[in-house]
Amino acid sequence: VHSYTHEHELLHSEVEEIINFDEFEMLKPYIEDIRHLPLYQFGEIERVLSEIDKTSNSIELWKEQLKQAALNWDKKRYAELLNMD
C-alpha cells in the first residue's frame, strides 16, 4: 500500500528529473495560467507555453511533455508536470 506522501514524493521526483526547482519556480506564473485551462482548450495551453522563453533544454523538454500529455488526454501525467510544490 502506497501512502499519499510516498506517491507525491515519487511524482515530485519524476518532474525533478526534467526540470529543477528553480526552473519550476520560474515557470509558476505560466503553470498557474495553464492549471485554469481544461485539456480540450489545447490551443490556449499551447499559447501559454509559447510565451515561455527557451531558457534551457530541460524547460523545452517539460513543455513538450506537457503538450503530449494534453494531446493524449493523459490527465495523470499532465497533473504531474504541473505540480512540483
Check pLDDT > 80 for residue 84: no
From 14, 67, 64, select the one nearest 39 (Cα to Cα).
67
* Angle between helix 21-35 and 75-82 (nearest 10): 130
How does pLDDT run across 52-73, given as a tens digit for each residue? 988 889 999 999 999 999 999 9
The predicted model gives 14-35 an average pLDDT of: 87
Outline where DSSP puts E strands in 1-85: none
C-alpha cell at 78: 499532465
